[in-house]
Amino acid sequence: MKTGVVLTVCLLVAPLLPALETEVSVQTTRTEVLAAAGPGAPLVQTGVDDLLLQGAVSHRQTLTEGWNLSGTVWGSLDTLPSGSPLVVPAPKVEVSGQILEALLTAEVVPGVVVLDAGKKVLHPSSGFSAAPLNFVDRGGTKVGAQAVAKWEQGWIQAGQAWMAPWATLSNSYSPGWGGVFRQSGWFDQSRIGWRWDPADFQVVTLVGDQGLQAAGFGLDTGWGDNLTLRAEGAWKTGVTQALAGATYTGADSSTFMAEYSWDSTAAKTAHHGFLRATRSLDDKVDGEAWGLVNLVDGSGFGGLAATVKLEKASLILSLQDAWGVAGSPGGDSPLLWKAGVEFQVFL
């Protein structure tokens, strides 16, 4: 709690300081669910409001030639800290904060060998609706159909990267840390990437206390200026996940994305299809529609959003829904609908 208050104060002061990048997001949502007042009680429609204030301050500083220091501090105030309209805890307001990244980077051989140490986000996956290769994903607050958290906490680690014209070899080692760092157990993630025009390949492995914990392969390839194809597959301690997708970008900057993913994490393998379309409605308004469908039972989740672009600010209006028969993920979800308004300021 004390850490959150201190970091939140830093966020309020940051816009007054030069050379800092600041983003503030104010989001209010209204969620309607079906909930029971107690055991055996009938389901009734219940509405819950949530106010979420978030902010992040980032900065990159060159210390001397080849040496750079960068970092991001995040803070939030949330009136529904459980994140679920079915769980409303006694403390109605939660203030929290984290140092998401704090990284010292040294170019030992400029453009060839780079060393780094500190807190770093490790995100090799390029998937949107699923991310099989993000073995150490720490998550964060998501908005709408975003698959990658808006602000994610990194890991305390030391890493190195060797870069050649056609290949990259990188490695990150994270020791076991307790207390404020919130890490337990060590891990070592290695990535080998190489390019065979027009495709980019990568192999990612994760080793930890129990030996090899995960391994995966990814492919990204662009065809002309409009089409991008991607595929990923991963094994994680007996669980297999895969992703295949494509993104098409039109001449008017509109995009259409389609992805298929499957996951054997649950007792029954899950197969999902994801569609997302964005289009500029005029110079200052972008529209978005998305849907995530379980291909076995037809249940799913979907949403619409409109983004109004202002000078150094954005206003986002969103609506989400769920559907499906009883026994399906969407059908068993208590969500009836969720409407949100978010205001972002960039300083």
CB under 8 Å to 18, separation ≥6 — which residues?
A: none
At residue 146 the predicted structure's pLDDT band, cuts being 50, 70 and 90, is: very low
pLDDT at 10 over 80: no
In a domain, 333, yes or no: yes
In a domain, 331, yes or no: yes
pLDDT at 217 over 90: yes
For the segment 317-343, the average pLDDT, to the nearest whole number, is: 87
Choosing from 196, 217, 238, the residue where a domain stops is 217
For the segment 28-55, the average pLDDT, to the nearest whole number, is: 82
200 plus 264 within the same structural domain? no
Q: Which residue has the higher pLDDT, 266 or 68?
A: 68
> Cα dihedral angle (179, 83, 48, 87), rounded to 10 degrees?
-70
Q: pLDDT tens for residues 236-259?
A: 887 899 999 999 999 888 999 999
For the segment 155-159, the average pLDDT, to the nearest whole number, is: 93
278 plus 199 within the same structural domain? no
In a domain, 106, yes or no: no
13 plus 87 within the same structural domain? yes
In a domain, 241, yes or no: no
In a domain, 207, yes or no: yes
136 plus 175 within the same structural domain? yes
CA distance 104 to 32: 46
Q: Which residue has the higher pLDDT, 264 or 201?
A: 201
260 plus 339 within the same structural domain? yes
In a domain, 240, yes or no: no
Q: Give the structural domain span for 169.
A: 111-217
For the segment 114-123, the average pLDDT, to the nearest whole number, is: 94
115 plus 204 within the same structural domain? yes
Choosing from 70, 100, 130, the residue where a domain stops is 100
Q: pLDDT tens for residues 65-90?
A: 999 999 999 888 888 877 677 776 66
Q: Which two three-digit tokens encode residue 240?
A: 């297999």
314 plus 278 within the same structural domain? yes
For the segment 219-232, the average pLDDT, to the nearest whole number, is: 93
Contact 290, 306 (CB under 8 A): no
pLDDT at 92 over 80: no
At residue 331 the predicted structure's pLDDT band, cuts being 50, 70 and 90, is: confident
Q: pLDDT tens for residues 277-318?
A: 999 988 899 999 999 999 988 999 999 999 999 988 999 999
C-alpha closest to that of 61 among 69, 52, 53: 69
15 plus 96 within the same structural domain? yes
Return the pLDDT at 302.
93
For the segment 223-241, the average pLDDT, to the nearest whole number, is: 91
204 plus 262 within the same structural domain? no
C-alpha closest to that of 168 among 199, 125, 201, 119: 201
Instruction: Please give the C-alpha separations between residue 344 and each of 28, 110, 116, 156, in angstroms, as whole numbers.
Output: 12, 37, 31, 29
CA distance 184 to 330: 34
Q: Which two three-digit tokens encode residue 307?
A: 């983004």
186 plus 141 within the same structural domain? yes
Return the pLDDT at 178.
56
CA distance 100 to 77: 16
Q: Which two three-digit tokens encode residue 178?
A: 């307790």
In the chain, the percentage of residues whose pLDDT exceeds 90 is: 46
pTM listed for this prediction: 0.83
At residue 327 the predicted structure's pLDDT band, cuts being 50, 70 and 90, is: confident
DSSP state for residue 16 in the 8-state scheme: G
174 plus 269 within the same structural domain? no
State the total domains in the chain. 3
pLDDT at 148 over 50: no
330 plus 258 within the same structural domain? yes
Q: Which residue has the higher pLDDT, 160 or 129?
A: 160
In a domain, 238, yes or no: no
Query: Could you identify the residue written with the tokens 């409001």?
Result: 49
In a domain, 140, yes or no: yes
Choosing from 80, 100, 120, the residue where a domain stops is 100
Return the pLDDT at 253.
83
